[in-house]
């Protein structure tokens, strides 16, 4: 067993134009003052990190790390969720996802994809330069629009989709392999990797690439009505990152998992500030500790009701209260003794 590290916080939802949320130093001081020990950095926020410089310069990474550490924090991971999304985009989503790319790549899907892939490769080297061995991202999607099989999907459609997705990702995964960094895909609706089966299909399509791993976020499983505790039993060997994010599902006679095109606050399934939803985090922390997860517990705040700063303040306390300092000895040691083969044989009735 291992003790989970934390609390840490994903900065993406807190970046703003006003201090202290508009500078790295301001965000670091704010997070540290709340009791966080680590920050997960969204790399599309270029004022927080320049990925190209981070990949090219160990000195740049050393100075970045020193800045963060001066606030008694660690950089837990880098995130390329937005860039990872652009590795695979179905044409139906072209215009909506264009905003994730720099202006010079918009309206040009090939240029946008090439840029995204290079961003991922830069993130692999940057992570290595920062001394980090895990990375957070999205898989992107070619097939999400066919999630409900009507009209019927053509024979071989899913297999071909995962084949193409793997083809896009394999050069990136090889760069992460060269850098000694695991790619942790957040299993998330809207992505081709959105549950256990889809993760398995992608993993197989990559030839069981050793760098294909999981960012575990139970909130997305609540919204899909998937057993998020048994998921850990099935996939604990792949879970290398953990987002602490809450959610709830309130059954309704008018709307279900698909949400009726409603806003978040009116949907049966909705994200909540940690501790306000239905996720059984005590069982999650117990299972992850049992299986030896020794990565970070990172707050990802999203809520349609509570203010973000209140959620961040409460989140640091919540995670700290849930981290289990795992025991180094069995609780019943007092009733045992040293190993004695002859005694054991007598108790087993073998030497009578």
Domains of the chain (ranges; CATH) run: 5-347 (3.20.20.150)
**Within its chain, how far is the Cα of 350 from the centroid?**
53
- Is 274:219 a contact under the CB 8 Å cutoff? no
Q: Which pLDDT score is estimated for 153?
A: 97
Instruction: Give long-range contacts, CB 8 A cutoff, 24+ apart: 200-206.
Output: 201/158, 201/162, 202/139, 202/162, 202/165, 202/166, 203/238, 204/162, 205/162, 205/163, 205/165, 205/166, 206/166, 206/169, 206/170, 206/173
| Res 342: pLDDT | 87
Give the pLDDT of residue 55. 98
Rounded to the nearest integer, the mean pLDDT of the chain is: 96
3 state DSSP class of 185: strand
pLDDT for 280: 98
According to the model, what pLDDT value does residue 275 have? Answer: 98
Query: Do residues 239 and 298 make contact, with C-beta atoms less than 8 angstroms apart?
Result: no
Stretches in the chain below the pLDDT threshold 50: none
pLDDT at 272: 98
Q: What is the pLDDT of residue 335?
A: 64
Give the three-class secondary structure for 100.
Answer: helix
Dihedral sign, Cα of residue 29, residue 33, residue 37, residue 39: negative
């Amino acid at each position: 067993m291992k003790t989970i590290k934390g609390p840490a916080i994903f900065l993406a939802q807190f970046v703003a134009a006003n201090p202290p949320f508009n500078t790295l130093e301001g965000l670091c001081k704010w997070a540290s003052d709340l009791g966080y020990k680590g920050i997960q950095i969204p790399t599309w926020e270029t004022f927080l990190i320049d990925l190209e410089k981070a990949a090219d310069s160990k000195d740049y990474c050393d100075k970045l790390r020193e800045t963060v550490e001066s606030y008694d924090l660690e950089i837990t991971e880098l995130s390329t969720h937005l860039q990872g999304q652009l590795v695979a985009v179905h044409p139906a989503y072209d215009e909506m996802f264009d905003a994730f790319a720099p202006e010079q790549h918009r309206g040009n899907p090939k240029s946008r994809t090439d840029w995204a892939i290079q961003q991922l490769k830069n993130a692999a080297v940057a992570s290595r330069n920062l001394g980090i061995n895990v990375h957070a991202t999205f898989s992107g999607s070619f097939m999400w629009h066919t999630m409900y099989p009507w009209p019927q999907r053509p024979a071989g459609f899913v297999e071909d989709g995962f084949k193409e997705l793997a083809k896009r990702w394999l050069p990136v995964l090889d760069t992460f392999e060269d850098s000694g960094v695991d790619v942790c895909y957040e299993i998330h609706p809207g992505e081709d990797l959105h549950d256990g089966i889809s993760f398995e299909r992608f993993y197989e399509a990559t030839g069981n690439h050793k760098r294909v791993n999981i960012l575990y976020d139970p909130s997305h499983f609540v919204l899909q009505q998937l057993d998020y505790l048994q998921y850990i039993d099935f996939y604990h060997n792949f879970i290398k990152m953990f987002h602490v994010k809450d959610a709830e599902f309130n059954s309704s006679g008018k709307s279900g998992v698909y949400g009726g095109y409603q806003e978040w606050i009116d949907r049966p399934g909705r994200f909540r500030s940690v501790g306000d939803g239905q996720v059984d985090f005590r069982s999650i922390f117990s299972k992850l500790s049992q299986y030896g997860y020794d990565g970070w517990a990172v707050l990802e705040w999203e809520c349609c009701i509570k203010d973000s700063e209140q959620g961040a303040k409460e989140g640091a306390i919540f995670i700290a209260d849930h981290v289990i300092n795992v025991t180094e000895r069995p609780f019943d040691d007092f009733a045992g003794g040293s190993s004695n083969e002859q005694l054991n044989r007598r108790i087993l009735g073998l030497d009578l």
